[in-house]
Each structure stands twice: as structure tokens, then as C-alpha cells.
């Protein structure tokens, strides 16, 4: 199947700093990218949906100024957690799908720890 | 978006067949049913997708009754490495907003 590469796989940052997570579709054009966060022993919670070249659509309760999403190309989307705080510590996962795809392909996830 | 309901957890033993049923009573005409597997600290992995009747691939089978209001993922002869969370999702392929339900935690014992 198609591959989505997500980096970094884990990151530790200080409170107040910003962290960028990259998500690349390696062998398909991801016209739509989804970003999720997942807390321990819980399901994935959709944060936002982004279409290439357009502004992301955020789910209710997700701060767009804190979680900046860029989807400038068909193969790359980034999530920047700005002014991170310990409560932002979580597992972040991206997925992508294209017009020719019948399912979404997920990245490996990024474990963010804010200290 | 069709809501899905699955058992919270299931236990099995190595070598057994495991069937996980998902209810999706308000599935729409254009919706497909997709199952994903997730191991701890990894992204979900696609298992199987279907629209109606039965679909089989190298790892699982998917049974969908005529009314499509439920579906059953069948894992033949599970092993310890099949211990994971299994998610059932319903939506339009290629453009759907993937909303995850709670999933089913499968524990495979020796």
C-alpha cells in the first residue's frame, strides 16, 4: 500500500517552545491530510482536515492558532504545536488520502513530551 | 457520518478464529466499511475494506450482511502478535473524514 512517512517519531521539548511535525506521502499525492492526537488507551481524535493549497478545517475545541497546519504541496503537510505546554503531550498521527485512493494511509505517529 | 459501535475488548487464544462485529445502523448508500489495526505507539494500519457481502485478503475476511447495518471482521488462527486495537470505520473512500470510534482491544493469549 501507499506510504506516509511521519517525522520525528518522538520529540521532547521545553514548555513554551514550538515543535514541528512533518508528514510526507512518499508514493502518492495526498490531496487531503488529517491530523489526530491520541492519549494513552484512548482512540484517535481528529484535530483537523487539510486540503492541499487550502486552509485547514479544525474540529471543534481545537485551537487553530496553537496547532498550525500547513499543506502547501501534495506530498507534505506539517503540524506545528506552538508555545507547547505539558498538557499538549500526546501521540500525534497524520494520515493522507488521494483522489485515487480508497482508504487513508497513516504515518507512524509522533510522541510529543513537553517538560 | 455513520457512528460505529464495537465491543470494548475481546480475549482469545493462539490459533483460534476471532470475529469482531461492528454496528453501523445509519450507514449511507455511498459508505464503505474499513477496518484498521493499531499497535501501541504506532499509526493505524489498513486491514480490509468492503461494501457488501464478503471480502477476503491474505490477513482477514470481512462479512457484510445485506442490510449493511453491521459488519464482522474475521481473523483466522490469531497469534500473539495480533494483540492490538481494531477500529471499524464507515465513510466514503478517498474523501471521507476518518472519525475513529473507541475500537476493540483484542488480547491474544498463549
pLDDT of residue A89: 97
Q: State mean pLDDT over B74-83.
A: 97
- CB contacts, 8 Å: B43 with chain A: 4, 6, 93-95, 106-109
Lowest average pLDDT, out of A15-19, A70-74, A97-101, goes to: A97-101
Q: What is the model's pLDDT at position B97?
A: 66
Taking the CA of residue B57 and the nearest CA in chain A, the distance in Å comes to 13
Chain A: residue nearest B87 by CA?
A43
CA distance A108 to B53: 32
One DSSP character per residue, B26-88 reads T--TT-EEEEEEE-TTS--EEEEEESSEEEE-SS-EEEE-TT-SEEEEEESS--GGG-EEEEE
Higher pLDDT, A90 or B31: A90
Distance CA A36, CA A110 (A): 10
- Which neighbouring-strand residues pair with B35? B48, B88
Give the pLDDT confidence of B2-36 residue by residue, as tens digits. 689 999 999 999 999 999 999 999 998 988 999 99
The confidence score (pLDDT) of residue B87 equals 95
Report pLDDT for B104.
97
Backbone dihedral region of B12: left (phi > 0), alpha (psi from -120 to 50 degrees) or beta? beta
Residue pairs spanning A and B at CB distance below 8 A: 58
| Average of per-residue pLDDT across A88-114 | 90
Smallest Cα distance from A82 to chain B, Å: 23
What is the mean pLDDT of the segment spanning A38-66? 92
pLDDT in tens, B46-71: 999 999 999 999 999 999 999 999 99
Per-residue cell: B103: 475500537
Mean pLDDT of chain A: 92
The pLDDT of residue A1: 67
Interface test with B, best of A11, A95, A101, A104 (most B CBs within 10 A): A104
Residues in chain B: 110
- Residue B94, pLDDT score: 58
Tell me, yes or no, if B59 comes closer than 8 A to chain A by beta carbon: no
What's the mean per-residue pLDDT of chain B? 92
Residues 6+ apart with CB under 8 A from A75: A24, A25, A26, A29, A30
Q: Per-residue pLDDT for A100 more than 80? A: no
Q: What is the mean pLDDT of residues B63-81?
A: 97
pLDDT digits (tens, 9 = 90+) for A20-36: 999 999 988 888 899 99
- Burial of residue A36 (CB within 10 Å: 0-12, 13-18, 19+) is buried
pLDDT value for B62 = 98
Residue B95: pLDDT band with limits 50, 70, 90: low
Per-residue confidence (pLDDT) for residue B92, from 0 to 100? 77
Amino acid at each position: 500500500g501507499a506510504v506516509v512517512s511521519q517525522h520525528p517519531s518522538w520529540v521532547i521539548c521545553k514548555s513554551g517552545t514550538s515543535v514541528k511535525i512533518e508528514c510526507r506521502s512518499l508514493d502518492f499525492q495526498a490531496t487531503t491530510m488529517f491530523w489526530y492526537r491520541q492519549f494513552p488507551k484512548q482512540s484517535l481524535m481528529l484535530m483537523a482536515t487539510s486540503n492541499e493549497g487550502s486552509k485547514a478545517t479544525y474540529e471543534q475545541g481545537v485551537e487553530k492558532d496553537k496547532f498550525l497546519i500547513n499543506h502547501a504541496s501534495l506530498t507534505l503537510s506539517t503540524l506545528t504545536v506552538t508555545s507547547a505546554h505539558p498538557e499538549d503531550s500526546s501521540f500525534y498521527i497524520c494520515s493522507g488520502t488521494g483522489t485515487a485512493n480508497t482508504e487513508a494511509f497513516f504515518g507512524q505517529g509522533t510522541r510529543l513530551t513537553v517538560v | 457520518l455513520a457512528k460505529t459501535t464495537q465491543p470494548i475488548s475481546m480475549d482469545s487464544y493462539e490459533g483460534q478464529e476471532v470475529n469482531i462485529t461492528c454496528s453501523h445502523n445509519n450507514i449511507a448508500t455511498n459508505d464503505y466499511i474499513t477496518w484498521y489495526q493499531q499497535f501501541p505507539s504506532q499509526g493505524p494500519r489498513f486491514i480490509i475494506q468492503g461494501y457488501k457481502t464478503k471480502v477476503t485478503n491474505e490477513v482477514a475476511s470481512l462479512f457484510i450482511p445485506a442490510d449493511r447495518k453491521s459488519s464482522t471482521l474475521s481473523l483466522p488462527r490469531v497469534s500473539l502478535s495480533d494483540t492490538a486495537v481494531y477500529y471499524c470505520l464507515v465513510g466514503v473512500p478517498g474523501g471521507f473524514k476518518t472519525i475513529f470510534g473507541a475500537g476493540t482491544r483484542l488480547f491474544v493469549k498463549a
